[in-house]
């Protein structure tokens, strides 16, 4: 919940995540600020994630009053400039509008500087989780041992590989045998259905991680095709079926390496990995398990 709140406030997008017992992983896309800046309506909507209605209304009022001064040229200025010389009406009007414009920008920058920024995303998430955790367990002080660590991940195979690595954490830790069975991960949420029953946010993130190099955005409707590629990519990271013939593995590959490209993985009738494909019945079982664990 806190992660999704920070996502909506900052405008950064979570592509995949995994919450473990004493740490977590997030694959995050720091999206650019919209062309022309963040519109006032969108800014106030984002502020509503962390602030109450009264506070948002107060911020909106400040912005409206400053904008009104800028537009109408309302001002209270002495009729002289810095050198003590008389100001003309146009000079006074120009200065008043400049100061009003600066006031509007100052109000906006208080909040927009915390958006579309990795450090502010993590700061908000860690601080708010610490506050919640301390309150729940009647403790105080810091919670995290070190500052968060980050690496830059390129789009394409690198992003898909990193997302798969994150979602396979509970499998490698021996907590589950199938990443779809783990409730607190991006893939588990995408398969299980998420809080509202469709896992749309997580599906959008995985689609983006797997297909951004091909122009795909955050498009949940592409999940059906992408989920097959992604699951097979995770399966091949875990290993190939021991029954596969050696002729299917290239000379330069090592056990567990993939020799098929995305199109071949999607079109292949057989899953050659240790992680079998999920049919309709399998997806339904995972969804039931997801909500049972949540309950």
| Per-residue pLDDT tens over the stretch 156-192 | 889 999 999 999 999 999 999 999 989 899 999 998 8
Average pLDDT of span 206-212? 92
Which is higher by pLDDT, 152 or 275?
152
Say whether both 194 and 283 belong to one domain: yes
Say whether both 194 and 278 belong to one domain: yes
State which of 112, 133, 157 marks the end of a domain.
112
Question: What is the predicted pLDDT for the residue at 99?
Answer: 67
Assess if residue 17 is contained within a domain.
no
Which is higher by pLDDT, 73 or 151?
151
Tally of CA atoms within 13 A in the half-sphere of 231 that contains its CB: 26
Tally of CA atoms within 13 A in the half-sphere of 176 that contains its CB: 19
Say whether both 211 and 280 belong to one domain: yes
Say whether both 281 and 232 belong to one domain: yes
Nearest Cα to Cα of residue 146 among 126, 132, 164, 160: 126
Residue tagged 């049972």 (tokens):
292
Say whether both 58 and 160 belong to one domain: no
Integer CA distances (angstroms), 20 to 6, 52, 83, 171, 185, in order: 19, 31, 65, 11, 9
CB 95 within 8 A of CB 77: yes
The β-bridge partners of 161 are none
Sign of CA dihedral 248, 252, 253, 254: positive
Buried b (16+ CB within 10 A) or exposed e, 173-205: eeeeebbbbbbebbbbbbbbbbeeeebbbbbbb
Say whether both 165 and 228 belong to one domain: yes
State which of 87, 112, 137 marks the end of a domain.
112
Sign of CA dihedral 237, 243, 249, 254: positive
Say whether both 62 and 170 belong to one domain: no
Say whether both 92 and 159 belong to one domain: no
Say whether both 47 and 92 belong to one domain: yes
Question: CA 169 to CA 167: how far, in whole Å?
Answer: 6
How would residue 62 be classed by pLDDT, with cut points 50, 70 and 90?
confident
How would residue 244 be classed by pLDDT, with cut points 50, 70 and 90?
very low
Which is higher by pLDDT, 71 or 177?
177
Say whether both 98 and 154 belong to one domain: no
Range of the domain at 175: 149-243+257-294
State which of 112, 132, 160 marks the end of a domain.
112
Say whether both 70 and 205 belong to one domain: no
Say whether both 222 and 275 belong to one domain: yes
CB 207 within 8 A of CB 198: no
The model's pLDDT over 104-159, given as tens digits with 9 standing for 90+, comes to 778 888 889 899 999 999 999 999 999 999 999 999 988 888 888 999 998 888 99
CB 233 within 8 A of CB 160: yes
Question: CA 284 to CA 280: how far, in whole Å?
Answer: 6
Question: What is the predicted pLDDT for the residue at 111?
Answer: 87
Domain count, the chain: 2
How would residue 251 be classed by pLDDT, with cut points 50, 70 and 90?
very low
How would residue 202 be classed by pLDDT, with cut points 50, 70 and 90?
very high
Assess if residue 85 is contained within a domain.
yes
């Amino acid at each position: 919940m806190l992660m999704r709140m920070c996502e909506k406030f900052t405008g950064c997008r979570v592509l995949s995540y995994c919450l473990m017992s004493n740490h977590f992983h997030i694959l995050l896309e720091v999206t650019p600020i919209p062309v022309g800046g963040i519109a006032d309506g969108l800014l106030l909507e984002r502020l509503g994630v962390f602030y109450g209605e009264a506070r948002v209304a107060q911020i909106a009022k400040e912005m409206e009053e400053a904008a009104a001064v800028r537009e109408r040229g309302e001002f209270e200025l002495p009729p002289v400039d810095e050198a003590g010389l008389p100001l003309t009406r146009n000079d006074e009007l120009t200065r008043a509008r400049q100061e009003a414009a600066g006031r509007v920008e100052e109000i906006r920058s208080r909040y927009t500087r915390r958006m579309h920024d990795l450090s502010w995303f993590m700061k908000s998430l860690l601080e708010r989780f610490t506050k919640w955790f301390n309150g729940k367990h009647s403790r105080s002080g810091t919670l995290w041992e070190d500052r968060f660590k980050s690496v830059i991940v390129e789009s394409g195979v690198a992003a898909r590989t990193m997302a798969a690595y994150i979602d396979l954490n509970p499998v490698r830790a021996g907590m589950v045998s199938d990443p779809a069975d783990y409730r607190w991960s991006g893939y588990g949420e995408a398969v299980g259905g998420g809080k509202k029953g469709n896992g749309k946010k997580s599906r959008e993130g995985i689609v983006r991680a797997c297909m951004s190099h091909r122009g795909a955005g955050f498009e949940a409707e592409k999940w059906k095709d992408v989920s097959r590629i992604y699951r097979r990519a995770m399966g091949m990271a875990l290993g190939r079926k021991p029954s596969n013939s050696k002729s299917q593995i290239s000379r330069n590959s090592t056990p567990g390496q993939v020799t098929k490209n995305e199109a071949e993985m999607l079109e292949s009738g057989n899953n050659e990995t240790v992680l079998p494909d999920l049919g309709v019945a399998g997806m339904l079982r995972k969804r039931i398990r997801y909500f049972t664990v949540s309950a």
